[in-house]
Amino acid sequence: MNSWDDIFNTDLRAMVNLIHESVPYLEKTNGTIISISSITGYVPTAPWLAYSTVKAAVNMLSRNLALELGPKGIRVNTINPGATDVERTTGQFPEMMKFAASKTPLKRNGEPLDVAKGVVFLASTDASYITAANLIIDGGVMYNWPAYMN
């Protein structure tokens, strides 16, 4: 159960606490909240049940916060990256990352800059009418993790 508690506390409770403390400042500036979730919030991932469940909760929390905070001038959106080549994922899961790259139309995994560009767009005035959105940045992924795990 520790992994559930750790993942819940790190990926959801910390987000709620940060947003709670930030709202008074964001109201003054018509700020925006951009949550980083995961494609696993949409695609069941049996080995990572707690992680994917919490990421689904992050997606729904963001959409609900958009309803609550929109009248205060605060936009709330979520970015859902797919497999992204960072040291942790490529180091711990090299075969999984190769599998993920092979199942996207672009035949590669994402890079941190791909996600960063989504954040910059959602934070910009070009996205001033976008709220409650879940931006998926996954290279058009065409796999399901349970098939990989079998």
Residues labelled as active-site residues: 51
32-36 sheet: strands from edge to edge: 32-36, 75-81, 134-137
Which CB contacts under 8 angstroms, 24+ apart, belong to 107-113? 108/139, 109/82, 109/83, 109/84, 109/85, 109/139, 110/81, 110/82, 110/83, 110/84, 110/85, 110/137, 110/138, 110/139, 111/84, 111/85, 112/84, 112/85, 112/86
How many other C-beta atoms lie within 10 A of the C-beta of residue 9? 12
